[in-house]
Structure 1
């Protein structure tokens, strides 16, 4: 970015086009020397090439255990049929898709990319007495420093805290910049300084953390698809904003455009505070549980069990009742039993749409348990999942997964594989399972 801004300062546009073309050709030439990814080779049924690619990237021999284990994992991932992805994607993955898409959309609406692309025009209108070319080069340096700062602080402060802090800092800078451009209460150089500060704060958090989340929050089986969708949404939203940015400046003025960006900063902060879980130091399975937990927090008004106490009441009362609840659950774990009442639920019949009410098949029965019982179940499930992931035992390769969502994904992939085998044998219709070829 620094080099491109320097070229824009000293060279005419026609020379910049030739320089960019040379860079593109160099990039394409270097890409031709890169070894193809193992996942692509496996999807093309090029098993030997995939094995050599894994050995190349791992820096080990083809026959090593590392290569064989990696190859086995990749085979399991690509077994998920594309047509079954809507059923494979877990609730935590759907929630992660929505939250990350919101962050990326709001990130673009905060104006960081627009300011970078239209840097010269922004500085010309915000600080007309200063050299816009010099300010643009300083902007590139500041953005680079912000990205470096993001890499340093994301593992120390956490992704969520860094994201929220960046949104608040960007909000302050944008509001002050808007007021300064509107009424000019300070020297012109203050606008340039504020613009540089805004881009530094934006790059240190809101401009980088969403892309870090893309790499962390999705299960391996849908990682590539989810990343592709998010990147496409990022470019689409960026294109829309860059297209309308000149019209925003024309009809709202530069100060009005800053105020719009400030509103987007507030929205991004609210999404980060209420929806984004902290992922620092967590495994993929733990991140999935965090997204499920945040999902259930937004559903505190679900129907209660026999005790009639909804989850919302427990959330409000837990500060006062925490010692008693902890003591009760500890006794349950020590004694290996739970109160008899917790084993009893309330039967509720849910009416199915479009079916006559006098038919038994028109109703789906569910049993509502007490919320306190479900809390203990979640604690046990989380501990067992963490134990299996970090300690063991060494599970069989045929085991469907250490966590619930991994088990669902791999079980569905197994069904998809069986369906493909049946189609490959031409075995469809009645009596398929009794056909001698299928047996």
Structure 2
């Protein structure tokens, strides 16, 4: 019953990812309309405006992510989530009642402010879910994101412009309302010095009594995670000295954020690791396929319906994300990244040669696009974000998760903004060669530097990070 309830709460939180999928996929459905002479706007978009139309949400995310990282520990995970959901509803409200190009671009920027949910969802879900299902639950957001893509592709392909926008507005409003049923996380309450509220939160998400043994055990585990000494690798002599200090009641002074970073080697290693994996996985290129799905399929597979191909691609992404979440808790994070990145690299090379040389029928192009979607989502596209929830201690989790997600949005903006100009200069096939190179680099990096974190509590992960680093 507890796991079912955690899954339900995870779905409510991840509904905001569905809203992100709607707004991220919408440019794909309307790009051709907005650049045509028959546009619903007051004038057609220019080439620069079209590039901003697909990428401006990333700039909004760059601004909102550090704000969310700060607010996570001030107003809490739940209210940050509500603010994020409100951003999507506001953006769709702007789109529904304007025909000005500048206002449409402003709405896309506002929707990017809501994309801080990419950070908030993972922090929120990882803090109320049990460690045994943490990997699976944190990847549910990918399923909802893909569902959002699939919905907007279907709406855009079957409804007229205004009906599509009104439907998306209604969906986003629902996302704000349902968040009211959730509670704040126990980690936030304990960090704010509210242990009794933390107990109530654990009891709520585990569906047990506040006085139960389960609650007491989880409270003790949380208190251990808040002890920075647990992440240090010490010799027996150092351990004796520490015990002597405890006997003399020498309580350690609370460290500031920067002091903590300076003294915690495992936190620095975790930061380098997640930055590298996030950067490499973003430049593997699937985001481009999602945002520009309809025009991309029109060019790559002209004999097939681009809307049908885009919907199927979104469905494949969601299904692969769900499987990836399960596999990350069964097979482990590290092998998924290594083997799937190799497979993604091979798919990109084959796709590049097909687009470049046209050595097979068009359905082969579609097949490799779907294979690339599956292999990427099974590994780097999912595990990169699961790692963020695995490796950081509670003292620095909000700030460093914010920093990593903000960096990922910068990478997203770069790849989305340069994609169309790059295709114009070198062609679509060579662009996929570049994606393939990043896939193989990801596999090599993960093989040498990524430790396995499956099923480990955060204090144990710190030991793994430092020991693995010491072996290199």
Secondary structure class of the residue paired with 1:208? helix
User: Aligned partners of 1:76, 1:161: CA distance in 2, in Å?
Assistant: 29
**2:185 paired with 1:37:** yes
Secondary structure class of the residue paired with 1:207? helix
Q: Deviations over 1:19-76 (max 9, x none)?
A: 2221221111111222223343455555554443333223233344544554566567
Q: Deviations over 1:138-183 (max 9, x none)?
A: 1012112211331343344332221111111111111111111111
User: Aligned partners of 1:47, 1:151: CA distance in 2, in Å?
Assistant: 31
Aligned partner of 1:23 among 171, 190, 211: 171
Aligned partner of 2:367 among 193, 201, 207: 193
Match of 2:357 in 1: 183
Deviation, 1:219, is 3.0
User: Aligned partners of 1:43, 1:296: CA distance in 2, in Å?
Assistant: 31
Secondary structure class of the residue paired with 1:278? coil
| 1:39-78 equivalences in 2 (<5 Å) | 39-44=187-192, 48-68=196-216, 70-71=218-219, 74=222
Q: TM-score, normalised by structure 2?
A: 0.58
Q: TM-score, normalised by structure 1?
A: 0.62
Deviation, 1:11, is 2.0
Match of 1:248 in 2: 422
Deviation, 1:126, is 1.2
Match of 2:413 in 1: 239
Query: What's the Cα RMSD here?
Result: 2.6
C-alpha contact (below 8 Å) 2:345/2:436 kept by paired residues: yes
Match of 2:452 in 1: 278
Return closer, same or farther for 1:42/1:291 CA change in 2, 3 Å cut-off: closer
User: Aligned partners of 2:285, 2:367: CA distance in 1, in Å?
Assistant: 17
Q: Which runs of 5+ in 1 are unaligned?
A: 299-439
Deviation, 1:282, is 4.3
User: Aligned partners of 1:243, 1:85: CA distance in 2, in Å?
Assistant: 37
Q: Which runs of 5+ in 2 are unaligned?
A: 1-146, 228-253
Return closer, same or farther for 1:78/1:291 CA change in 2, 3 Å cut-off: closer
Match of 2:265 in 1: 91
C-alpha contact (below 8 Å) 1:124/1:132 kept by paired residues: yes
Secondary structure class of the residue paired with 1:277? coil
Deviation, 1:289, is 3.0
User: Aligned partners of 2:441, 2:372: CA distance in 1, in Å?
Assistant: 17
Return closer, same or farther for 1:154/1:54 CA change in 2, 3 Å cut-off: closer
C-alpha contact (below 8 Å) 1:39/1:78 kept by paired residues: no
C-alpha contact (below 8 Å) 1:125/1:254 kept by paired residues: no
Match of 2:118 in 1: none
**2:306 paired with 1:132:** yes
Q: Deviations over 1:60-115 (max 9, x none)?
A: 33344544554566567679654455446621221111111111111110001111
User: Aligned partners of 1:230, 1:274: CA distance in 2, in Å?
Assistant: 21
Pairs aligned (count):
298
User: Aligned partners of 1:279, 1:44: CA distance in 2, in Å?
Assistant: 27
C-alpha contact (below 8 Å) 2:225/2:393 kept by paired residues: no
Secondary structure class of the residue paired with 2:381? coil
C-alpha contact (below 8 Å) 2:156/2:164 kept by paired residues: yes
Structure 1 residues 157-166 or 285-294, which shifts more?
A: 285-294
| 1:392-403 equivalences in 2 (<5 Å) | none
Match of 1:229 in 2: 403
Return closer, same or farther for 1:151/1:30 CA change in 2, 3 Å cut-off: same
User: Aligned partners of 1:156, 1:71: CA distance in 2, in Å?
Assistant: 26
Return closer, same or farther for 1:75/1:29 CA change in 2, 3 Å cut-off: same
User: Aligned partners of 2:218, 2:261: CA distance in 1, in Å?
Assistant: 26
**2:439 paired with 1:265:** yes
| 1:18-417 equivalences in 2 (<5 Å) | 18-44=166-192, 48-68=196-216, 70-71=218-219, 74=222, 82-87=256-261, 90-298=264-472
**2:152 paired with 1:10:** no
Structure 1 residues 50-59 or 165-174, which shifts more?
A: 50-59
Structure 1 residues 153-162 or 82-91, which shifts more?
A: 82-91
User: Aligned partners of 1:283, 1:248: CA distance in 2, in Å?
Assistant: 43
